[in-house]
Amino acid sequence: MAHPIRRAVGAFVLDVLLVVLFAAIGRRSHDESGAAAGVLSTAGPFLAGLVLGWVVSLAVRRSAPVSVNSAVSVWFATVFFGMVLRVLTGRGIAVSFVIVASVVLAVFLLGWRWAAGFIARRLTS
């Protein structure tokens, strides 16, 4: 079994990479420049929401959000504060964008946790 700190760091890094992937896919689907700075600019508000979600989860639960149940708050914070920060920085949001971002980030941030839990249960049974 992986050391808890190593698991937490790995989960956080994977979450960050998936939020960046979300931004890159979004920029690509809208034929926007794929430059790293552009992707990071798009991902920035959502990365801030992700970090806030992790901090709150660690403070409230006193454990890393590595399971699906414990990561729902991280997903919610990523979407909610990502959207709020987009508005505050003058970037628009549309209802369709909120829906797509919510679904894609749920699949990304909760999906890998579900798959890892499923595989772990299979291996131990």
Q: What is the pLDDT of residues 86-116, one digit of tens each?
A: 999 998 899 999 999 999 999 999 999 999 9
List, for residues 70-85, the tens digit of each pLDDT value. Answer: 999 999 999 999 999 9
d(CA 115, CA 77): 21
Looking at per-residue pLDDT, the higher value among 3 and 85 belongs to 85
| pLDDT for residue 73 | 95
Task: State percent of the chain over pLDDT 90.
Answer: 74
- Whole-model pTM: value is 0.91
d(CA 46, CA 52): 10
Q: What is the mean pLDDT of residues 17-43?
A: 85
Q: How many CB atoms lie within 10 A of CB 86?
A: 20
Residues 6+ apart with CB under 8 A from 112: 14, 18
The DSSP element (H or E) to which 31 belongs, if any, is none
**Among positive and negative, which fits the CA dihedral 18, 21, 27, 32?**
positive
Q: What is the mean pLDDT of residues 46-54?
A: 98
| pLDDT for residue 34 | 58
- Going by pLDDT thresholds of 50, 70 and 90, the confidence category of residue 2 is low
